Chain A
Amino acid sequence: MASDTLTSGEYIKHHLTNLTFGQHPDGHWGFAHTAEEAKEMGFWAIHVDSMLWSVLLGFILIYVFRKAAKNAHAGVPGGLQNFCEWIVDFINDTVRGSFSGRNPLVAPLAFTVFGWIFLMNFMDLIAVDLLPWLAQLFGQHVLGVDPHHVYFKVVPTTDPNITFGLALGVFVLMLYYSIKMKGVGGFFGELAFQPFPKWMFPINLILEGVSLIAKPVSLALRLFGNMYAGETIFILIALMYSAGIVMAGFGGLLQLGWAIFHILIITLQAFIFMTLTVVYLDMAHQEHH
Chain B
Amino acid sequence: MNFNATLIGQMIAFVVFVWFCMKYVWPPMMKALDERKKTIADGLAAAERGQREQELAEERAREQLVEAKQQAQEIISRAEKRASEIVEEAKADARTEGERMIAAARNELDQELNRVKEQLRSQVAAIAVSGASKVLEREVDEKTHDELLSKLAAQI
Binding site for B on A (CB under 8 A): 18, 20, 22, 38-39, 41-47, 50-51, 54-55, 58, 61-62, 65-66, 68-70, 72-75, 77, 81, 84-85, 88-89, 92, 104-105, 107-109, 111-112, 116, 159-162, 164-166, 168-169, 172
Main secondary structure, interface of B, reads helix
Residue of B nearest to A89 (CB): B33
Stretch at the interface among B8-16, B76-84, B91-99, B139-147: B8-16
Residue of A nearest to B34 (CB): A74
> How far is the CB of B4 from the nearest CB of chain A, in Å?
5
Known A-B contacts A58-B17, A62-B25; the reply to A169 vs B32 at CB < 8 A is no
> How far is the CB of B62 from the nearest CB of chain A, in Å?
38
In the assembled complex, the Cα of A70 lies from the Cα of B5 at a distance in Å of 34
In the assembled complex, the Cα of A65 lies from the Cα of B21 at a distance in Å of 9
Question: In chain B, residues 19-51, which have Cβ atoms closer than 8 Å to a Cβ of chain A?
Answer: 20-22, 24-26, 28-33, 35-36, 38-39
Q: B4–A66 contact, CB under 8 A? A: no
Known A-B contacts A46-B4, A73-B32, A108-B18; the reply to A55 vs B25 at CB < 8 A is no
The contact of B6 among A72, A85, A92, A165, by CB within 8 Å, is A165
- B1 beta carbon closer than 8 Å to chain A: yes
Residue of A nearest to B2 (CB): A39
Q: B9–A165 contact, CB under 8 A? A: yes
- For B135, what are the chain A residues with a Cβ–Cβ distance below 8 Å? none
In the assembled complex, the Cα of A46 lies from the Cα of B7 at a distance in Å of 8
Known A-B contacts A162-B10, A168-B7, A169-B11; the reply to A104 vs B22 at CB < 8 A is yes
- For A47, what are the chain B residues with a Cβ–Cβ distance below 8 Å? 4, 6
